[in-house]
Every structure is written in C-alpha cells, then in structure tokens.
Amino acid sequence: MDNISRAKLEALNNPKVMEYVEEAIKLCRPAKVTVITDSEEDNNYIRELALKNKEETPLNLEGHTVHFDSPLDQARDKANTKYLLSKEVDWGLNINYILKDEGLPEIRSFLDGIMEGKEMLISFFCLGPTNSPFSLPAMQITDSAYVTHSEKILYRSGYEEFKRLEGSDDFFYFLHSAGRLVNNVTADIDKRRIYIDLEENRVYTVNNQYAGNSVGLKKLAFRLAIQKAQREGWLAEHMFLMGVKGKPGRTTYFTGAFPSACGKTSTAMLPGQSIVGDDIAYLRKIDGQIRAVNVEKGIFGIIQDVNPADDPLIYEALTTPREVIFSNVLVNEGTPYWLGMGQEPPAKGINFSGEWYKGKKDEKGNEIPFASKNARYTIAISELDNADPNLNEPQGVPVKAIVYGGRDSYTTVPVAESLTWEHGVFLGATVESETTAATIGKEGVRTHDPMANKDFISVPLATYLENHIKFASGLKEVPTIFATNYFLKNHEGKYLNGKLDKLIWILWAEGRVNGDYEALETPIGRIPKYADLKALFKEHLDYDYTEKEYNEQFSIRIAKYLEKMDRMTKAFSHIKLPEAFAAEMEAQIKRLEEAKATYGDIATPDKFQK
C-alpha cells in the first residue's frame, strides 16, 4: 500500500476498518493495495483499471463497455450461497447454511493467497442516500475492478459517510475475489462460495464474477439489511420504487416486489412515469407516513427483451453514448446484441463462449445461444430521462401504494386491490411464481415466494410476516396494497396480456389510491370495472380493450384460487403464524368456499356488481 492509500485509510479514523483491511491483506496477499474514495479521480482510476485488466472491453459508443462472466457463472448461485451460523436455526424457511466451524476454515482456505500478483481495491459505499436516516455504510474489498466499477455505478460513494461514522463499527463489510482467471473469467467455479455472516455483518464471496454473486452491496448486503431492519423495526424489501403520474401534476409513489425476472424493472421504467429504484428499497415510518428510498442509485437490469416497442426508455439509454456496462451479450464490431432486441443478430461475434458463430455447440453438444438469457446492463439512474427528482432525497419519498406480483399462468387476476392492510400482507406473503433464468436451475417451476423475497429473508418467516403486519400500526396514512400478475394465460397456454398492459394496471391502482375509480369487491380483493380499464387502455395505449378480454382476464378462477390456498396451507403448516395472518388465511379460504358454492369453479366479474 502506498502512502496515499494509507493516508486515505487513516483519515477515516476507524479501528474496525483497519482491522478488516489488515486481516484481508494477510489472508489474500495482494501484490498491491489501492484505496478508493468518492473522488472523480478515483472513479476514473477504476474505470481505466477494468479496461487495463481486460475485465471490460470498450464498445463503439462512448462510455459503453462489455464484461463477460464464465458460462457457468451467469446467475445467482443459490446452492453455494450460505449463511455462516454459530448454531443451527429453525426459521421456517428452507435456508442454506453452514456452521462457522466448518464454513470459515473452508472459505478462508479458498481465499488464502488468492490475490497474489493482483491488486486489492478497497472502496466505501453508502446503501441508501448519504447523510440520511436510511444510510447504511458498507466497505468493499475485492480484486475485481469490474465489481468496483459496477458498484460505483450502482451505489452512492461512501468514503465521506465513513468519516461520519466517527469510528463506529456499525457498517457492512464484503470481501470478494474473482479467483484465478482464464481468458478473464473465473476458472475455479467448483470452488465458488458465497458465505454470509449475519452475526458479524460481513460476507465472503470467492471464485465468481456475476454481479448477483460478486457485488457485495446488492443481494448480499440485502440479506444483512433484512436482519438489521427486523431488529430495528423497519423494512428492507426486494422492491422497486417509482412515481406514478395519474392526473396531470400528480405523482403517487409506489413500491413493488416481484421475483427476479418478473417485470420489476420494466414496471419501474413504464413510459410516462418516473423511476426511483428497480430492485431494493428500505422503508421506514417517519412522521406517521411510510417513506422509502432506493438502496441503490443504478440498475443492474435484464437486457433480454429490451426493445423499442416494449421498453422504449431503456432501449434509448442503451443505444446512445453514456456510461453502461453490458454483460454476457454478443459483440460484433463493437456493437452489443441481445435476445429479444427486435433485430436479427449477426451470425458471428464474441460472446461469453469466446469466438461465437451461429450453430456453435458446447461440450455437451447443445447449441450456444448468441447471448445469455440473463445478460444484463449496468447503468446509473441519473443517466435516464425518467429519473425521479427525489432519487437522492435523504428523507425518501412517501409510499401510497405497494404492489406484489408473481409469475402465475393459471390463477390470479392481472390486478386486485387488497381489502385491508392485513389482507394485503397476506397477498404479498402468498405470491407464487414460476422460476426464471435469474437463478441457476430449472425454469418454470412454480414456487412459493413470500414478498418475492424468499431467496433473501434472513430472519424467521413468522417474525418477518409479523413485522409487516405491525408496520401499519401508528400510521396516519396506510398505503394500499395491490397484487398483480402480468403472466396470466388462457387454457391454450397463450398469454392474455401484452407487455405494456402493466401500465394500465398501475395507473388504475394510482387512480384507486386517489379516489378516482370505484371497484368490484370479490372474494380475493377489489378488481377494476370494465369501463375504467377501457378508458385507460384507449387513452394510454390507444387500444380498444374489449369486454370479452376483460371477462377472460378478470374472471375469478375460484377453483384455482382454492387449489392455491391448499398449497399455501401446506406452505405455512410448519410455522406458528402470527394470529392476524392466520385469521386472514382462514377468512380468505372461507370467502372462496362460499363463492364456489354460489358460482362454481369460475365467476365472471359481473357476478360482483352490486
């Protein structure tokens, strides 16, 4: 470490920072150590280092670079992501853990000397806006300039925030190494490990580059934050945060939780609306209101299907000069190509498999797609024209509506408003979703995903639910909770909705929150009236929405909902549910059974006309 870096560290006056740094240097034995502050000079150093190290390659447009991960490292590795625990716990969740006696020596042995000949980068960030009641400082140590560069785009710099800590050890710490690289990608994937120590607020992650595995501040910090939130009485959620524009001049802030790759980013990026965040939000009660911030300041978004028709705003941002890291796309003559971009890709180029040509096969004889299904882009929200002006507001924005959505082909309606806050918590906790390419494993398997957060909940499920129910107490204004489903199909397996229809559901919800629309009360919640949707479709999508479409989409599939309730009863059978939650479940089943007795397996919306 040179004198400049040493001075930067010493200026923080933080014994815990020093202890972690010394320990990491001793363990990883880097050839060089560099400390990164909030300065533009340091930011440039990282951008250039990522190119120099060949972790990124420049593309034609200014500010655009591409990064590749190993073909085996292009999604979150759930199997090797584990909590490090001193003793076993029973949280009523299917968590993956390893006892510290076993896990610490293992991961330390993988980290031993792993940075020999490499440069260690020490950076400081702040989760949430700086200098705010939401701020959580975090220190990242890594040998990857790509990881640091991604974090510089995605998070607020926090070197000054660490000074504000005045020596306190209340911060998160992440140690990462991409490990041995061959052709610039992690070679020892069999030794990929991601171990999260909830007791010490620190994470070790090794032999990976995919940002969901490597970027400490994203899903790894999120797990630490959920536990901290639980202890301190706030919420850390897998949620977007957006400003929805109803009537002219009116902005209503929404948060929404959706499982990975189920439309969360594209909701937050809906045309005509403003984005605060697309992935993780912290919610606190301030002066009788729920207020929320985006933990991040950038987007690590799925690029598949970003095209001028479905995602015009992101498409524009990704095809004009500005700072963007593309990952796992196809590159031909300095231009990136991805799946579903609305354009034929060239027949050859460079992708995650190296030189790629149409028809290229992997070792198993399977054809290699030209780009990964989980290919991504990394961009600062401030680069977008639709960035919300309150993105960095230290007090956050007031939340008026919360949306929970899953990927459910056969059961739930496109949008429904909960009957009460508790019913809304129930709707969130019973989200089911079919698995996607965002995690390693089989796609299309129906899974129960409470609050779209099952991969990240780091506290007992019953306590987590109770915390949600209690969160509305003492509020002057209680937000309205909605459930959405963008993926409903008909009996022939055909999607019933276009990709932009979500705009209509969100605008309807915004109108409901502000008292613009009446609704039909059904056993599963309140649903829109046909005439209101027809007007919204016409005005915003210039589409003649028919009553036939409405009836098919909004019929209550009572028998299917009852099957879902059977699955939910089983899913919760092993835990002692909070009383209010158990009562919601019972009431929901009863309403559905009564409806079944009256209407049979399915009820068209007109049945609920008063």
Nearer to ligand SPV, 402 or 536 (CB): 402
**Segment interacting with ligand SPV (CB under 6 A) among 211-219, 285-293, 347-355, 525-533:** 211-219
Stretch in the footprint of ligand SPV (CB under 6 A) among 212-220, 342-350, 440-448, 554-562? 212-220
By CB under 6 A, is residue 176 in contact with ligand SPV?
Answer: no
Whose Cβ is closer to ligand SPV: residue 219's or residue 291's? 219
- 279 forms part of the interface with Mn ion (CB under 5 A): yes
| From the list ligand SPV, Mn ion, none, partner contacted by residue 218 (C-beta under 5 to 8 A by kind) | ligand SPV
Q: How far is the CB of 218 from ligand SPV (least distance, A)?
A: 5
Q: Which of 230, 260, 304, 433 binds ligand SPV (CB under 6 A)?
A: 260
Tell me how many helices (H) and strands (E) the chain has.
17, 34
Q: How many CA atoms, within 13 angstroms, populate the side-chain half-sphere of residue 497?
A: 27
- Kindly give, in sequence order, each residue whose CB lies less than 8 Å from that of residue 230, ignoring residues fewer than 6 positions away: 459, 463, 464, 467
Nearest CB to ligand SPV, comparing residues 359 and 444: 444
Q: With respect to ligand SPV, which residue has the nearer C-beta, 211 or 595?
A: 211
Stretch in the footprint of Mn ion (CB under 5 A) among 16-24, 254-262, 297-305, 353-361: 254-262
Residue from 56, 69, 77, 279 in contact with ligand SPV (CB under 6 A): 279
The reply to whether 161 sits near Mn ion by the rule CB under 5 A is no
Residue 175, both tokens: 């140690």
Size of the site for ligand SPV (CB under 6 A): 9
> What is d(CA 163, CA 53) in angstroms, rounded to the nearest whole number?
31
Burial 373-404 (b: 16+ CB within 10 A, else e): bbbbbbbbbebbebbbebbbeebbbbbbbbbb
Q: If binding is defined by CB under 6 A, does position 76 make contact with ligand SPV?
A: yes
Q: Supply the minimum distance, in Å, between the C-beta of residue 610 and ligand SPV.
A: 41
Query: Residue 596's binding partner, choosing from Mn ion, ligand SPV, none, with beta-carbon cut-off 5 to 8 A by kind?
Result: none
What tokens does 530 get? 């046909």
User: Which CB atom, from 64 or from 454, has the smaller least distance to ligand SPV?
Assistant: 454
For 562, the token pair is 């009852």
Which residues in the 187-226 window bind Mn ion by CB under 5 A? none
300 binds ligand SPV (CB under 6 A): yes
Q: Which stretch binds ligand SPV (CB under 6 A): 25-33, 160-168, 210-218, 325-333?
A: 210-218
Q: Which entry of Mn ion, ligand SPV, none binds 530, CB below 5 to 8 A by partner kind?
A: none
Question: Do 321 and 61 touch, CB atoms closer than 8 A?
Answer: yes
Q: Taking CB under 5 A as the rule, which mask of x and - marks residues 431-470 in contact with Mn ion?
A: ----------------------------------------
Residue from 118, 192, 218, 223 touching ligand SPV (CB under 6 A): that is 218
3-state secondary structure of 268: helix
Catalytic residue, chosen from 194, 224, 262, 391, is 262
Q: Binding to ligand SPV by residue 263, rule CB under 6 A?
A: no
CA atoms of 101 and 308, how far apart (whole Å) = 52
Contacts of 158 (CB under 8 A, 6+ apart): 38, 124, 125, 126, 130, 137, 138
Phi then psi for residue 358, to 5 deg, are -55, 130
- 262 included as an active-site residue: yes
Give backbone dihedrals phi and psi of 475, rounded to 5 degrees, phi first. -85, 145
Q: Which is nearer to ligand SPV, 376 or 529 (CB)?
A: 376
Q: What residue 392 binds from Mn ion, ligand SPV, none (CB within 5 to 8 A, per partner kind)?
A: none
Residue 573 has phi, psi (to 5 degrees) of -65, -25
Find the binding residues for ligand SPV in span 437-496 (CB under 6 A): 438
Residue 205: both structure tokens together:
């992650």
Does 211 bind ligand SPV (CB under 6 A)? Our answer is: yes
Binds 228, which of Mn ion, ligand SPV, none (CB < 5 to 8 A, cut-off by type)? none
Please state, in angstroms and rounded to a whole number, the distance separating the CA atoms of residues 162 and 431: 38
Task: Considering the complex, state which of residue 267 and residue 555 has its C-beta at the smaller distance from Mn ion.
Answer: 267
Query: Which of these, 257, 245, 269, 315, lies nearest to 536 by C-alpha position?
Result: 245
The answer to the question of residue 219 lying near ligand SPV (CB under 6 A) is yes
Integer angstrom CA distances of residue 94 from 90, 436, 572, 577: 9, 19, 12, 16
Helices (H), 518-602: 530-536, 547-554, 558-572, 579-599
Using the contact rule CB under 5 A, the part of the chain among 74-82, 100-108, 271-279, 409-417 near Mn ion is 271-279
The CB-of-456 to ligand SPV minimum distance in angstroms stands at 9
- Asked if 223 interacts with ligand SPV (CB under 6 A), we say no
DSSP string, 69-90: --TT-SSB-STTEEEEESS---
Q: Determine which residue in the list 129, 212, 246, 349 makes contact with ligand SPV, applying CB under 6 A.
A: 212
Contact predicate 439/206, CB 8 Å: no
Please identify, using beta-carbon distances, which residue of 263 and 528 lies nearer to Mn ion: 263
The residues, ordered by sequence, that sit 6+ positions from 200 with a Cβ below 8 Å of its Cβ are none
Task: Decide which of ligand SPV, Mn ion, none touches 554; Cβ closer than 5 to 8 Å per partner kind.
Answer: none
CB of residue 172 vs ligand SPV: minimum separation in angstroms? 16
Cα-atom radius of gyration of the chain, to the nearest Å?
A: 24
Helix (H) or strand (E) holding 335: strand 335-337
Is residue 501 near Mn ion by the rule CB under 5 A? Answer: no
DSSP 284: E
Task: Pick one of ligand SPV, Mn ion, none as the site partner of residue 438 (Cβ within 5 to 8 A by kind).
Answer: ligand SPV
The long-range contacts involving 46-50, CB below 8 angstroms and separated by at least 24 positions, are: 46/121, 46/123, 46/145, 46/148, 46/149, 46/152, 47/149, 49/119, 49/121, 49/145, 50/145, 50/146, 50/148, 50/149
Shortest Å distance, C-beta 264 to ligand SPV: 8
d(CA 568, CA 561) in angstroms, rounded, equals 10
Q: Look at residue 211 and give the partner it binds from ligand SPV, Mn ion, none, a contact being a CB closer than 5 to 8 Å depending on partner kind.
A: ligand SPV
Tokens of 153: 């785009």
* Least spacing, CB of residue 297 vs Mn ion, in Å: 15
Residue 139, interface with ligand SPV (CB under 6 A)?
A: no
Residue placing its CB nearer to ligand SPV in the complex, 209 or 274: 209
Q: Which residues are catalytic?
A: 262
Residues found near Mn ion in the complex (CB under 5 A) = 260, 279
Residues found near ligand SPV in the complex (CB under 6 A) = 76, 211-212, 218-219, 260, 279, 300, 438
